[in-house]
Amino acid sequence: MYNKERIIEEIKRVAKKLNASSLGQKDFELNSTIPLETVKYYLGSWEQALKQAEVEVPDTKKSAQPKEEESRSNKKTLNEDKLLLELIRIYKKTGEEPTTLLVDTEGKYGEHIYRKYWKSLNEAFAQARKRFPERSENFKRKKSTVSIEDAEVSLEKYDDVERPGYNEEERMEEQKIKFIPQTIRPKETKRKPKTVGASMDFRGLKFAPADKKGVIYLFGIVAHELGFIIESISPEFPDCEGKRCVDLENNQWEHIRIQFEYRCSDVKKQDMIETECDLIICWTHDWTECPVEVLELKPEMERFQNFQLI
């Protein structure tokens, strides 16, 4: 979750990285994963943010130049080919299609930069493969050798789909649950069984939500990418207040009151829902006559790369 201190430290980090005494908004956007609108929301304006970070405001006539020779003083947009080639580089380095996490950790440009040029990271990578087919096709990871008891064993690392005789559907079929065995339970037990959701392995979260707390945690992981800024969470109804982006292009936000539930029908204060709440965020939408807006996380999560319930 973002706060003033974290944003100020990020401004200082970017300025130090570029070896610049002053820092422009575009230079910050190209070198940070924190959106500019978030900086302004927490710190008021770009000038005020720089002042709090003890970084000089750039001269509008002569922008600060980073140590690297790649100048952006002509205010041209970042070259699309350079962005697409960076995705190819990440693909070749990791052997995986670029995800938000890979782009932010391995790449030169943040995932939000790609969304300025294309609708999504998936679309950008598809465009990269289309524009530079000779650089992205027929790619295999390099061979590596490991020593086992002084014997050199050559291993070729390649994707599962390339293995001879390998069939993904057959593998998934083998892993399906065949039956749930019946056990003999004691008449009385003090221990209550703990229930978890389906396996998902998404950004450190091993299992899908099985209750309201799981929904809150999962939403916290993706809130910013879904266009939400959280201001407070309280035990009172509704659970949360914040801002929601309603127009990304024009940077328009609206105040919103949120109630978290596992199923949207779990709302205990249904008589207050229309007057006190603007949005229910749940894992499963099962209340067809719900009088307020509902955000069902389960189908939305399918839009994230590498997300799959097992």
């396996």: which residue's tokens? 199
210 neighbors 193 (Cβ within 8 angstroms): no
Residues 136, 143: Cα–Cα separation, whole Å: 18
DSSP state of 78: P
Nearest to 85 by CA among 32, 26, 41, 129: 129
Q: Which amino acid is at 54?
A: E
In terms of DSSP bridges, do strands 252-260 and 144-148 run parallel, antiparallel, or are they unpaired?
A: unpaired
Residues 232, 27: Cα–Cα separation, whole Å: 31
Residues 160, 155: Cα–Cα separation, whole Å: 14
Look at residue 306 in the predicted model and tell me its pLDDT. 60
List the pLDDT tens digit at each of the 310 positions of the chain: 578 888 888 889 888 888 888 888 888 877 887 887 788 878 888 888 888 888 888 865 544 444 444 444 333 446 788 888 888 888 888 888 888 878 877 788 877 788 778 878 888 888 888 888 766 555 544 444 444 444 344 334 434 434 444 455 555 555 666 677 878 878 777 777 778 888 887 888 888 999 999 999 999 999 998 999 999 999 999 999 999 998 888 889 999 999 999 999 999 888 889 899 999 999 999 999 999 999 999 888 888 866 666 5
Residues 231, 175: Cα–Cα separation, whole Å: 43
- Integer angstrom CA distances of residue 67 from 39, 98, 112, 263: 24, 28, 24, 53
Domain spans in the chain, listed from the N-terminal domain onward: 199-301
Residues 263, 265: Cα–Cα separation, whole Å: 5
Angle in degrees, CA 233, 10, 248, rounded to 5? 60
145 neighbors 154 (Cβ within 8 angstroms): yes
Please, which residues have CB within 8 angstroms of residue 188's CB and are 6 or more apart in sequence?
A: none
